[in-house]
Amino acid sequence: MMSKHLDTFLMCAPEHFEVSYIINPWMEGNVAHGDHLTAQGQWQELKHALQSVAHVECMPAAAGVPDMVFTANGGLVLGDKVILSAFKHVERQAEEAHFSTWFAAHDLQVLHMPHDLPFEGAGDALLDRGVDLLWFGHGHRSDVACAPLMADMLDIEVQALKLVDPRFYHLDTCFCPLQGGYLLYYEDAFDAAAQAWIAARVPVQKRFAVSAEDALNFACNAVNSGKHVFLNHASTVLLAQLQRWGFSVHQIALTEFMRAGGAAKCLTLKMNEPHTVRSRYAADGNLPESVLAL
Ligand SMILES: NC(=O)NCCC[C@H](N)C(=O)O
């Protein structure tokens, strides 16, 4: 039987997945060019791999919302709250009602950004895995005005990072916090100020700037659960770095989803996000002295 301490990820089967419009550069030239059976197989492989270390819950797929397979974009979960996404592009806005219904039915308090500010959930808002900090990407999809609102709504410090390369339009396409406070990121996706914030806030020995080749293979769009990392593809250099940090890397081809601009991390939404480092340790039942002393 699975331990209740395993992570839980929300996924949505690609029954209705296809590239049927263009809202990011990856989708260009891919409308109606996908292979449905291959997409189904790749998604199942990711799901099975995750199920070897975590729980996976699936929300019902729906016609007319082909990108709903990217559950990371449905909202930002923290503790028993979720800030529902308000998608920038009209093509994805019909997903909001589906996500809202699912979250409410699973005992989450559903919060909304005021004035429907564009906000794309855990695509742009990622928890640091070492300190109590929420990293927030803006510049393409989510509005920078969401940053102070999120900080108030969730009572957490937010560090905004400006994204500047349209191919890396969500923070989770180019930035991946890992357990223990480690970080993978693609430096050129950020403006100079954001690069400086990352350098200032993450110790140099805990961060790794991936190559353009790895970034374009969606290596930063990785799912992390404990010491496991699931991603589309990593170079030998990146694999060696992750192994030095103690992670086991699982490579699962997700090329059909890259046609739409997403890979492993986008296809999942972590549902068990504890609110603080303190509660993260408390959940394991062994609060370290250093944290107790705070
Ligand atoms: N990067 C993500 O978090 N999700 C991928 C979203 C792909 C979708 N076609 C979009 O452009 O919104």
pLDDT digits (tens, 9 = 90+) for 40-69: 999 999 999 999 999 999 999 999 999 999
> Residue 5: its pLDDT value, please?
85
Query: Is pLDDT of 294 > 50?
Result: no
Task: Quote the Cα angle for 141-146-149, to 5°.
Answer: 165
Q: Is 259 in the pocket of ligand 1 (CB under 6 A)?
A: no
Could you give the 3-state DSSP secondary structure of residue 219? coil
Q: Give the residue carrying structure tokens 């990785």.
A: 222
Q: Is 116 helix (H, G, I), strand (E, B) or coil?
A: helix
- Give the pTM: 0.93
Q: What pLDDT shows up at residue 4?
A: 58
Write down the pLDDT at residue 160: 98
- Cα pseudo-dihedral 115, 118, 120, 124, rounded to 10: -110
Please, is 106 exposed, middle or buried when counting C-beta atoms within 10 Å of its C-beta (0-12, 13-18, 19+)?
Answer: middle
Which range among 29-33, 67-71, 181-185 shows the weakest confidence by mean pLDDT? 29-33
The pLDDT score that the predictor gives to residue 280 is: 39
Q: Which residue has the higher pLDDT, 252 or 284?
A: 252
Calculate how far, in angstroms, residue 246's C-alpha sits from the geometric centre of ligand 1: 29
Active-site annotation, residues: 170, 266
Q: Ligand 1, residues 68, 70, 88, 168: which to mutate, most atoms within 8 A of Cβ?
A: 70
Flag whether pLDDT at 191 surpasses 90: yes
pLDDT band at 110 (very low <50, low <70, confident <90, very high): very high
Instruction: Determine if ligand 1 sits within 6 Å of the CB of residue 23.
Output: yes
Q: What does the mean pLDDT of the chain come to?
A: 93
- Sign of torsion over alpha carbons 55, 59, 60, 63: negative
**pLDDT the model gives residue 278:** 38
Query: What is the pLDDT, as a whole number, of residue 33?
Result: 86
pLDDT of residue 274: 81
Say what the pLDDT of residue 196 is: 98
pLDDT computed for residue 3 by the predictor: 53
pLDDT of 283 reads 37
Task: Give pLDDT tens digits for 141-159.
Answer: 999 999 999 999 999 999 9
Could you tell me the distance, in angstroms and rounded to a whole number, from the CA of residue 201 to the centre of ligand 1?
27
The answer on pLDDT for 205 being more than 90 is yes
Helix, strand and coil percent figures for the chain, each rounded to 5: 40, 20, 40
Q: Where are the alpha helices (DSSP H) in the chain?
A: 36-51, 90-93, 95-105, 146-154, 192-201, 212-216, 236-244, 255-258, 277-284, 289-292
Q: What is the mean pLDDT of residues 261-281?
A: 80
Is the Cβ–Cβ distance between 42 and 253 less than 8 Å? yes
**pLDDT for the residue 276:** 60
DSSP-derived 3-state class of residue 163 = strand
pLDDT at 162 over 60: yes
Ligand 1: centre distance to CA 260 (Å): 7
Q: Which long-range contacts (CB under 8 A, 24 or more apart) does 104-110 make?
A: 106/57, 106/271, 107/80, 108/77, 108/80, 108/81, 108/82, 109/80, 109/81, 109/82, 110/75, 110/82, 110/84
Q: Whose CA is nearest to atom 9 of ligand 1?
A: 260
Hey, what are 233's tokens? 């593809």
Q: What is the pLDDT of residue 76?
A: 98
Lowest mean pLDDT among 163-167, 214-218, 279-283: 279-283
CATH of domain 8-292: 3.75.10.10
pLDDT of 284 > 80? The answer is no
